[in-house]
Amino acid sequence: MNEERRARRERRGVAGRLVLGVYLVGLGALMLAERLGYEIPGEIKSYWPFLVIGLGLVKLLWPGDRDERRGALWILVGGLYCWIGAWNLFGLGWKTAWPIFLVAGGLAMLFGSASLRAARVTGDGAPDGSVRRAE
Does residue 77 share a domain with residue 32? yes
SS3 (DSSP) at 40:
coil
Does residue 89 share a domain with residue 110? no
Q: What is the pLDDT of residues 38-94, one digit of tens each?
A: 988 877 778 888 888 988 888 888 776 777 778 888 888 899 988 998 888 998 888
Does residue 131 share a domain with residue 86? no
Does residue 8 share a domain with residue 39? yes
Total structural domains within the chain: 2
Q: Could you list the residue range(s) of the whole structural domain that residue 132 is in?
A: 98-135
Does residue 102 share a domain with residue 85? no
- Provide the pLDDT confidence category of residue 131 given band limits of 50, 70 and 90: very low
Helix ranges (H only) for 1-135 are 2-35, 42-61, 66-87, 99-122
Measured in residues, the chain has a length of 135
